[in-house]
A = this chain, B = another copy of it.
Amino acid sequence: MPTDICFSFTGFACRGGRTDEHRDGWGIAFFEDKGCRVFRDYLASSESPVAQLVQHYPIKSTNVIAHIRKATQGQINLANTHPFQRELWGRYWVFAHNGNLDKLPTLVGKTYQPVGTTDSELAFCLILEKLRAQFDTEPSAEVLFQAVSQHAGELAQLGTFNFMLSNGEWLFVHCTSHLHYLIRRAPFCKAHLLDEDVTVDFAEVTTEQDQVAIIATQPLTDNENWIALMPGQMIGFMNGQVCWQAQTLPETWFEARRQAAKTAA
């Protein structure tokens, strides 16, 4: 629902330069059926005129991905601004990444090539290239989820790989360090933003059937029950529900982390 999007984005946009340091550009993608609108700016979201428009423009959308950037690899410019978009099997795919990946493998296929210079866009191209090599036509969402979770697990071993990926039908999210989600459904109540003193009473703007999943690096509200994802946890959402789950990281990854913690101590 537009109210959910505008509300969440109001708090989220503050983190791009005001309540948080992710000020190196921002972007948001709205799916409407198979169509997709992407707004992007290399300005901080707290200062961008495009962000102000998005905050007040009641766009109806089934899946939305927003991103605020803190540059790790690649300059601050439009080509390096998330979310990234490509077409696969006649649908748009949209990807946003929080984290940093080192020593990414070279692209073997030639179908998808990064336009910018971020690790994130390269990782996105790597995943799409692998999926295209695996499947001639679009498989079921469940099969896709399994395939993506395998590729996510491989890439996640190269650094921090919190990401969101959607083709408009489903939303796959992956966590290696920080990611939280919330299912907002009946009975609805008032929600209060963490980053700005704004409250919305969702009981007034929803119907009994409405259900929305909100996923964010850090919780956006201070009075709802956000659930933290574990490292290596991947979840597939559809129609505001948790549909698929996977653990993408091998036991060796956790063992190595325990060893590193011990050494540090």
Of A49-57, A205-213, A244-252, which stretch is located at the interface?
A49-57
CB of B36 within 8 A of CB of A37, answer no
A89/B113 in contact, CB under 8 A: yes
Given contacts A57-B49, A92-B115, contact A38 B38 (CB under 8 A): yes
Whether B86 and A115, one on each chain, are in contact in the complex, defined by CB atoms closer than 8 angstroms, is no
> Quick one: which of B80, B87, B115 contacts A113, CB cutoff 8 A?
B87
Q: In whole angstroms, what is the CA distance A114 to B115 when docked?
A: 21
What is the 8 Å Cβ interface bit string for chain A, positions 98-123, against chain B (1 contact, 0 not)?
00000000000011111110000000
Q: Which residues of B contact A89 (CB under 8 A)?
A: 113
Residues of chain B within 8 A of A57, CB atoms compared = 49-50
For A111, list chain B residues within 8 Å (CB). Answer: 111
Q: Is A243 an interface residue (CB 8 A)?
A: no
A80 and B36 alpha carbons, distance in the complex (Å) = 10
Chain A interface size, as a band, is 35 or more
B81 and A35 form a contact (CB under 8 A): yes
Give the copy number. Answer: 2
Give Cα distance in the complex from A77 to B37, angstroms: 11
Is A78 an interface residue, CB under 8 A from the partner? yes
Whether B136 lies near A35 (C-beta < 8 A) is no
Closest to A86 in B: B87
A32 within 8 A of B: yes
> Which residues does chain B contribute within 8 Å of A34, judged by CB atoms?
79, 115-116
Q: Is the CB of A110 within 8 A of B86?
A: no
Using a CB-CB cutoff of 8 Å, which residues 35-50 of chain A contact chain B? 35-42, 49-50
The answer on a CB contact under 8 Å between A35 and B90 is no
Does A20 count as interface, using CB distance less than 8 angstroms?
A: no
Q: Which residue of B lies closest to A80 (CB)?
A: B35
Given contacts A53-B49, A136-B110, contact A33 B79 (CB under 8 A): yes
Q: Which residues of B contact A136 (CB under 8 A)?
A: 110
A-B contact pairs, 23 of them (CB 8 A): A34-B79, A34-B115, A34-B116, A35-B40, A35-B42, A35-B80, A35-B116, A36-B79, A37-B40, A37-B78, A38-B38, A39-B39, A49-B53, A49-B57, A50-B53, A50-B57, A53-B53, A85-B85, A86-B87, A87-B113, A89-B113, A92-B115, A111-B111
